[in-house]
Amino acid sequence: MKPTITGQPLARIDGHAKVTGAARYSAEVQISGVAYGVLVTSACARGRILAIETNDAEREPGVLAVITPKNALRLPDTKVPENDRVVQVLQDDRIVYSNQPVALVVAETLEGAMHAALLVKVHEEKEPATVRLDDEIKNAFEPEPQSASGKKSADQVRGDPARGLREAAMRIDETYQTPYETHNPLEPHATTAVWNGPDRLTVYDATQGVFGVRKKLAKMFALPTGNVRVLTKFVGGGFGCKGTPWSHVILAALAAKQVGRPVKLVLTRPQMFGMVGGRPLTRQRLSVGANKQGKLTALRHESVSTTSRFDDFLEPAASVSRHSYACENMATSHRLVRLDIATPTYMRAPGEATGGFALESAIDELAHALKMDPLALRLASYAETDPTEDKPFSSKSLRKCYAEGARRFGWAWNKRSPARADGMLVGVGMATSSYPAYFSKAEALARMLPDGTALVTSGAVDLGGGTYTVMSQVAADAIGLPMDRVRFDLGDSEMPEAPRSGGSQTAASCASAVLLAGRALRDKLVRMAVADAGSPLLGARPDEVLIENGRMTANGRTDSFADVVKRAGGAPVEERARAGPDEARKKWSLHSFGAQFVEVLVDPDLGHVRVKRLVGVFAGGRILNARLARSQLMGGMVWGIGMALHEETVYDEKIGRIMTRDLADYHVPAHADVQVIEPYFIEEEDVHVDPAGVKGIGEIGITGTAAAIANAVFNATGKRVRSLPITPDKLL
């Protein structure tokens, strides 16, 4: 049956709740008897807690506990699950980064806890610490394969890159740097923990994945997984920092156990710098060679990124070079450097956002050196198949993205654009976008109720991208119901398991499971009808039954889902389905692609850059809802503007402390930074990627953007900025 609702640009179904303030986020769940937790964090970046004076805080009325490493409940297990981040949960006196939790005040009221937290005096013994990459780069090491994205090895070589460079007519050999960044979703991290007896825990958490939170809590408190329930109905943005449970999640549960009360712990904005991850700093060397026609002869991409002393997070920045261009001679490598910082983590388009800046800048430099149109140079080395894995792409519409983007933008290659009459320098630039199409195991449950409405559940989350809406659309089509008779619910670890919402995989994974569960339910209802003596469809062949709006028709006779359920006794009829990658999927290289074109204005006196117009054309498989997808892409593209021009987490290199610890000092794009943003799609039918045909669009909008802007700044000013963000000082 041809889908009719999936793909429609419907308004979000959670819109009403969000515009009225009725949507309840994790910090807003009302729990009777809840106490408030406020964290105290370390000043120094490395050292030991000598003593913590808690008397003044404890004497404050309403203070229930001041929890420090001295009196904190001992956790049965301090190890975290595999592929999860190490946390600092008051089990020892070590300080391993600045802004680490060292105490937790619990009080009857929020203001009481905030006030008492100010009265806690922490005495630290400082040890020499360094947060400077240059100080430690000599100790760079090759990370374990399992910490690299997609479990690929850190290094890959194909052909003979050294020879390819020697034989090139033109070479570029440059180093690019991307800074530390901090996600800063507008909703602060928040956890409310409720113990129902000594071994049953319920947690309301602002998370990108309820099952990961459940797993970590169950392990660290040594509870059966089924005894922990994690819920999140609305999440106010994540972008990666809510992907794994951090220290505060464990501490909320610990505190609730210790004081014997439910505890709500909300991080302050300054506490979100470090403790909940961020994008690591990357330094990337690109050595690229091409013949006179612009065909690549060699591509070498070496990336070094930072991690903490106690955990490995690898930013897979060089991976983007493995599948972007046709080139016989390629080498990519990743190295890690340990510093006295908190562990970084995934941040929107990990690897592709940072690596794409370096690669797409280098390609632009090469084009300029060859006096070639950068778009023509990209087309000269267009990869028809994946150059590293020697696999076909499951679908790739990048050529169309280039053409459509160039047409929409009015791309006309000039070596230097003329300045405007008012003296503003004008520049244009472009870059390629790409992001892998991830698909993880997901389950969904579809249930037909006696009133003829369906309830479909899967324990995914909705970070704001529109999971509630698109899953309802997919479910409605799969079952054969109108939208208003389907309800999709999510965000509860008691529901069928869905992957963490990250890596642009929720739509692909969850929609595939919903699709399969919905179809299975529909088929079951048809089978019940044709075998039911009370049904007008008795004896009909299931394949001749047509379904529309909850009614089944065959040979001029009709029955309804509601009647089938009622005749069967009235208990809901349900089907569960699982979707996930199979062996056949491994035959393909799976990526979304896109192209971004940008016009910038640069003030030659102030060095100020404005993005006047940003056009992006993206091919991400099937688009489930164009209205919501456009929003996602626009948001991603604006993140690209932030990455290019504004965002940087700045450390004081002497004391190892983040200096940009709020939204006044850490600059995210504001209204005035955004002018014309135009996202477009190239729709693709991809039967190999996943049952829903979806590649995901959450990340791709930010990929390539920063390079396109840097390339446009070069076009405007003749200055090549190889270290983000492009702040005015770099142009003066």
Partner 1 sequence: MRLELRINGSVRSLEVEPLKRLLDVLREDLILTGTKEGCGEGECGACAVLLDGQLVNSCLVAVCQAAGASVVTIEGLSSSALTPLQRSFVECGGAQCGICTPGMIVAGQCFLDSGAAATDEAVREAIAGNLCRCTGYTKIVESIQHAARETR
Give me the residues that bind partner 1 (CB under 8 A), please.
11-12, 14-25, 27-28, 30, 109-111, 184-188, 234-237, 239, 266, 268-269, 463-465, 627-628, 630-632, 634-639, 662-664, 668-672, 674, 677
Q: Output 17 or 403, the one with its CB closest to partner 1.
A: 17
Asked if 358 and 126 count as a contact pair (C-beta separation under 8 A), the reply is no
| Closest C-alpha among 148, 137, 149, 128 to residue 177 | 137
DSSP strand E in 70-178: where?
94-95, 101-107, 121-126, 156-158, 170-178
Count of positions (residues) in the chain? 732
In the complex with partner 1, the residue whose CB is nearer, 431 or 677, is 677
Choice between 496 and 698, CB closer to partner 1? 698
Helices 705-717 and 352-369: angle between axes, nearest 10 degrees: 30
Q: How far is the CB of 358 from partner 1 (least distance, A)?
A: 24
Q: Residue 265, SS3?
A: strand
Closer to partner 1 at the Cβ: 595 or 628?
A: 628
Query: Which residues lie below 8 Å from residue 629, measured CB to CB, with a gap of 6+?
Result: 620, 623, 681, 697
| Closest of 362, 178, 209, 198 to residue 282, by C-alpha | 178
Closest to partner 1 by CB, 211 vs 639, is: 639
- How many CB atoms sit inside 10 A of residue 600's CB? 30
Least distance from partner 1 to the Cβ atom of residue 348, Å: 10
Task: Count Cβ atoms within 10 A of the Cβ of residue 21 and give its class: 0-12 exposed, 13-18 middle, 19 or more buried.
Answer: exposed
Least Cα distance to 401 among 638, 596, 589, 637 occurs for: 596
In angstroms, give the least distance from the CB of 361 to partner 1: 23
Work out how close the CB of 111 gets to partner 1 at its nearest, in angstroms, rounded to a whole number. Answer: 5
Nearer to partner 1, 169 or 668 (CB): 668
Backbone angles phi, psi at 177, to 5 degrees: -135, 135
Please report how close the Cβ of residue 336 comes to partner 1 at its closest, in angstroms: 28
d(CA 286, CA 175): 6
CB of 595 to partner 1, least distance (A): 18
| Greatest alpha-carbon span in the chain | 85
Question: 385-413 in b/e burial notation, b at 16+ Cβ within 10 A?
Answer: ebbbbeeebbbbbbbebbbbbbeebebee
User: Closer CB to partner 1, residue 432 or residue 625?
Assistant: 625
Identity at 96, one-letter amino acid code: V
- Is 584 exposed, middle or buried (CB count within 10 Å of its CB: 0-12, 13-18, 19+)? exposed
Are the C-beta atoms of residues 427 and 417 closer than 8 Å to each other?
A: yes
8 A C-beta contact, residue 143 and residue 312: yes
Using CA atoms, how far apart are residues 495 and 379, in angstroms rounded to an integer? 47
Smallest separation (angstroms) from partner 1 to the CB of 218: 28
* CA–CA separation, 160 and 134 (whole Å): 30
CB of 661 to partner 1, least distance (A): 11
Asked if residues 78 and 115 have their Cβ atoms less than 8 Å apart, the reply is no
To partner 1, the closest distance from the beta carbon of 27 in angstroms equals 8
Judged by beta carbon, residue 573 or residue 641, the one nearer partner 1 is: 641
CA distance 123 to 273: 22
699 is catalytic: yes
Closest CB to partner 1 among residues 465, 550: 465
Q: Which residues are catalytic?
A: 699
